[in-house]
Structure 1
């Protein structure tokens, strides 16, 4: 079995189209169709449903797709590793960064890295930590910042920084007169929250579950400026990392009682090949984290 038709199968599965797969792979569409047909003949199985222009995998095709993803990924990593033995570099880092860190912690680090390594391209994917962790496990990212709660056995991580999650309220909110805010008091207020899948939402949901309380979420948005604006105008309260609140935000932050500290790590796959570009980025980011700690 050759690897080329497996690569075609992976692309067809992920684009649900022979035409899009061909465009993605940079080959002619008939070449993709012929390669898949030959693979089906070789295996004696139908791998793809082609009825009514809807392209989808059969059960047999889906099982082969699961293996093909791993084979193609391993082959690409082997090619990269062999290339780097000849002194060549990938020159690209695919890193996942949660929204708060992407907006407030990482920009100067990313700029400093690019200044030191101008030939390395940075592809930054912003999203929720759960989504980013899944992308990392699938090999869609090389590195990702995650909250170290329960690290999967498939991942390895390096400590980056520890940051406090704080209650955020308007300047005239009664909580501004308190030193700390209990979970019960926090959940008695209308909340402005990130959507599910983001680490700060996951922490709040777990806190509510532990307290046996259903949160009263009035607003859901992943836009940090909008969360700040709604909170500043007194339409709810929120919780954010302390680094996110700036002097001119006209917002007050208070610790939870007891305080909530997040252990933020940068992770990569144990069985994946970490290119020289990714190694350089990992070392650089960890060094910056130590200088902040």
Structure 2
């Protein structure tokens, strides 16, 4: 009698997120992806992190929390370089003259960034995908209706303005932290409409608020195990960040080449389609 074969234990199904995605994360694709995203952002006067997030989750196949943390790392690099780049147009003295506005928003955004990062690390992967999908739609709406805003003077005054600034900063800090973005798409309309800032000045003030806000969120993310993905993908992060900077620089010089009436709806549509894919990914 032939011996009975010993049944093998059932093998777990392969996790699609664990397949080798290395080819898409190599330097050339990373630089190209960063450059395209930076170009889109530069054309509308932003860093493009909102468009980078779906790219990290989709073609580069990072998990939601990893994508957020990597996006935050690259956003930090891009913003840190963008602030001195803008000094020729908006000198640091102009930013210093408006220190009260920066501190007003930071009073809310720093707390929002810390809490947003804490919530992101505690949410289940599925829930975080869904949250990111909803936020991408909200960013698309802000892109359509908030970009190019103009205001002659502050919307409120006195304690009401300070209170509104803290609340707005808190909300922006949470959103920026959850998505790993600088938050310029929300900060610039807030600075223009709530504080009556000139649009060029608002761009630089938003960077002055974003930088410490992102550092706080980054510090909170560093306490989570997923933060190790930054060290594991440091070359990818550096190369894609450089690509983003180059793309933003080129896009900034092409600013006005494509009419906003054409460009903004297209970019908003990209965000909505990306939102659907991120939602389904969850």
Give the TM-score, by structure 2 length.
0.28
Q: Which has the higher helix share?
A: 2
Q: Larger Rg: 1 or 2?
A: 1
Relative contact order (C-alpha < 8 Å, sep 6+): which is higher? 2
